[in-house]
Amino acid sequence: MRHYYVYVLANAGRMLYTGVTNNLERRVLEHKAKLVPGYTAKYNIARLVYYEATTSVVAALEREKQIKGWQRKKKLALIRSVNPDWRDLSEDWDSSRSFASLRMTRARG
């Protein structure tokens, strides 16, 4: 069964970015490596502070849109409800294995 993830990234200044993906680990690593040009790369937004999973792509896209429409205060409350210390939830991933996998995926195209 395929999963879809709505995620929120932050930087040290707590600027936020909300996105959706079908591969959370790969997508976060792309942000960390600044392989995604634009807002997240420009402002170094790569700390995974919140995510949720669903098996429905439609539900994931709707939830992303919902969260993006919220005022900042409500987004901060959501993050604090599950991650009060704003810890990078991806810090426990095996980054050496993950980055190697990411490079192999990129090489295959």
Tell me how many domains the chain contains: 1
Give the domain range for residue 12. 4-108
| pLDDT tens digits, 52-65 | 999 999 999 999 99
Residue 58: per-residue pLDDT: 97
Encoding tokens for residue 35? 């392989």
> What's the CATH number where 16 sits?
3.40.1440.10
Q: What is the pLDDT along the chain (109 residues), one digit of tens a residue?
A: 899 999 999 999 999 999 999 999 999 999 999 998 899 999 999 999 999 999 999 999 999 999 999 999 999 999 999 999 999 999 987 655 554 454 444 444 4
Q: How far apart are CA 8 and CA 16, in angstroms?
A: 7
